[in-house]
Structure 1
Amino acid sequence: MAENTRLFHATPEQVWDVLSDGWVYPVWVVGAARMREVDDTWPAVGSKLHHSVGPWPLLIDDTTEVIASTPGRSLTLRARAWPIGEAEVTIRLDSLGAETEVHIEEEPLSGPGALIPPPVRGMSLRWRNTETLRRLAYIAEGKA
């Protein structure tokens, strides 16, 4: 499992507002290229984002599903991009007054990514999620 943490100069509510807007998912998630559809109930458990990943024209259409959601506190997703694989991603928001410590944990569940040795996999996921948190912070702090 790879874990990253970043301090956001935004409240948990402001960060949650970004997480709750499925249409901006490709703006902050590294690798996501475009959004095709967002379920009306996003981010309720069982709701899905219908997205594409990868560079054009080699896009892969797949989904990301909410498997746990505590509004303003945490969101756990099952991200898919077959044939690359599936991963479980948990984003946790810890309130620090007017700021938020945001944690992201990612664990490959299946596919080629799960076969990469954990030390190598962890390095690449930490690098990717550092940029993911940077992008998410830009949006949430811009709304602050």
Structure 2
Amino acid sequence: MTENTRLVHATPDQVWSVISDGWLYPLWVVGAARMRDVDEDWPAVGSKLHHSVGSWPLLLDDETEVLDATPGRSITLRARAWPAGEAEVHVRLDAVGVETEVRITEEPVAGPGALVPRAFVAPSLKWRNTETLRRLALVAENRT
């Protein structure tokens, strides 16, 4: 499992407003290329984002499902990105004054990505989630 943290210059509610708007997913999640649909009850448990991964013209349609959510506090997702596989991703928001410490953990759980030894997959997940948190911060800090 890899873990990344970042202090975001926005309140937990402001960060949550980005996470809870499923249409913004490709703006902050590295690898998501476009949204095809967002379940009406997103981010309720069991709801899904229907997205594509990759780069045009090699886009693959896939989905991400909410496994657990505490509005304004945390969300756990089952992110699919086949043929690489599936990962469980947990995002936690902790208030630090008027800012937010955002912590993201990711664990490959199915498919080829889950078979790769952690020592090999951890550096790429660490880089990806560093950039994901940077993007989330940019959107949350500059959204009006």
TM-score, structure 1 as length reference: 0.98
Structure 1, unaligned runs of 5 or more? none
CA distance in 1, matches of 2:37, 2:72: 23
Question: Within 2, Cα distance between the matches of 1:143 and 1:99?
Answer: 15
In the other structure, the counterpart of 2:9 is 9
Aligned to 2:88: 88
Separation in 1, partners of 2:130, 2:83: 24
- Provide, for residues 99-136 of structure 1, a one-character-per-residue CA deviation record: whole Å limited to 9, x for no partner: 00000000000111111110121111000000000000
Q: 1:28-52 CA deviation, whole Å, 9 max, x = no partner? A: 1001000000000000000000000
Letter matched to residue 4 of structure 1: N
Amino acid at match of 1:97: G
1:1-144 matches, cutoff 5 A: 1-143=1-143
Runs of 4+ in 1 over 4 A off after TM superposition: none
| Distance across 2 between alignment mates of 1:111 and 1:100 | 33
Tell me how far apart the structure 1 counterparts of residues 81 and 143 of structure 2 sit (CA, whole Å). 30
Q: Kindly state the Cα deviation for residue 143 of structure 1 after the two structures are TM-superposed.
A: 2.4
Unpaired segments ≥5 residues, structure 2? none
**SS state of the match for residue 55, structure 2?**
coil
Q: CA RMSD in A?
A: 0.8
TM-score scaled to structure 2, two decimals? 0.98
Q: How far apart, CA to CA, are the structure 2 residues paired with 1:30 and 1:121?
A: 15
How much does 1:59 deviate?
A: 0.7
How many residue pairs get aligned? The number is: 144
